[in-house]
Amino acid sequence: MEQHNIIRKTVPRETFAQVDGLIDNFQDKHNLYLDKLLWWNKRVNLVSRDVPRETIWEHIRHSLILSELEDFQKNKLFIDAGTGGGLPGIPLAIAHPNKHFVLNDLVTKKCLAMKQIAQQIDLENIGIIDGSIEDLHHEEECILISKHAFKIEGLIKMTGHLPWKKMVLYKGLEFENELQRFSEALNITCFDLSNGSDFYNGKAIIIIDKP
């Protein structure tokens, strides 16, 4: 197995409180997003069926933790691969109107639902592109983000053609299992989220430099 250079950090408790503040600042839009997501979820499978509203709030909070990390703050353009119901891209776009997000999903009807939701909540800083991430054309340098959608090795291989400089993945703390056959050494920073509520037990955000 290739030796990867892994730096581990723990996200402090205060960060979770800051995320709650971010939600408060954009409460109306997040609520509207949640309403529309639940409405569309009855027609298109965007998140698990019958998922309680409070669980989706957890996913919105989880998505927004990235806001507090430096690699997010100093960049402006993000691609959310495998966005499904718009997570993490839509909560981030709501809370950061000055940044731009490209949402991508393989499934066209999910992307059509996302377009409707974006219009319904008046979000102007996102673009939505359907099709596999491996076929996405994009020329500007960006940060690739993805939540619970791909194995790491597979996503790196599928996105070699894209000009991302960092890849941000919402993963479990045992993400290294997914890198056992990767032939290059990667620089990875792992942000342990276990200082948050029980929801975050075993969860991490990992940031990988482009190999």
Binding of residue 83 to ligand SAM (CB under 6 A) = yes
CA atoms in the 13 A half-sphere facing the CB of 83: 33
Nearer to ligand SAM, 32 or 106 (CB): 106
CA distances from 48 to 32, 108, 119, 177 (A): 19, 18, 23, 26
Binding of residue 84 to ligand SAM (CB under 6 A) = yes
User: Does the annotation flag 82 for ligand binding?
Assistant: yes
Binding of residue 87 to ligand SAM (CB under 6 A) = yes
Stretch that binds ligand SAM, among 19-27, 99-107, 113-121, 184-192 (CB under 6 A): 99-107
State which of positions 13-72 bind ligand SAM (CB under 6 A). Answer: 47
User: Does the annotation flag 127 for ligand binding?
Assistant: no
Binding of residue 126 to ligand SAM (CB under 6 A) = no
User: Does the annotation flag 156 for ligand binding?
Assistant: no
Q: Kindly state the smallest distance separating residue 208's Cβ from ligand SAM, in Å.
A: 17
CA neighbor of 180 nearest in space, from 10, 55, 53, 4: 4
Among 128, 149, 186, 205, binds ligand SAM (CB under 6 A): 149
CA neighbor of 204 nearest in space, from 158, 154, 147, 144: 147
Stretch that binds ligand SAM, among 12-20, 24-32, 36-44, 101-109 (CB under 6 A): 101-109
Q: Kindly state the smallest distance separating residue 203's Cβ from ligand SAM, in Å.
A: 12
Q: Kindly state the smallest distance separating residue 114's Cβ from ligand SAM, in Å.
A: 10
Binding of residue 112 to ligand SAM (CB under 6 A) = no
Binding of residue 104 to ligand SAM (CB under 6 A) = yes
- For the annotated binding site for S-adenosyl-L-methionine, the residues are 82, 87, 133-134, 147
**Residues near ligand SAM, by CB under 6 A:** 47, 81-85, 87, 104-107, 110, 132-133, 147-149
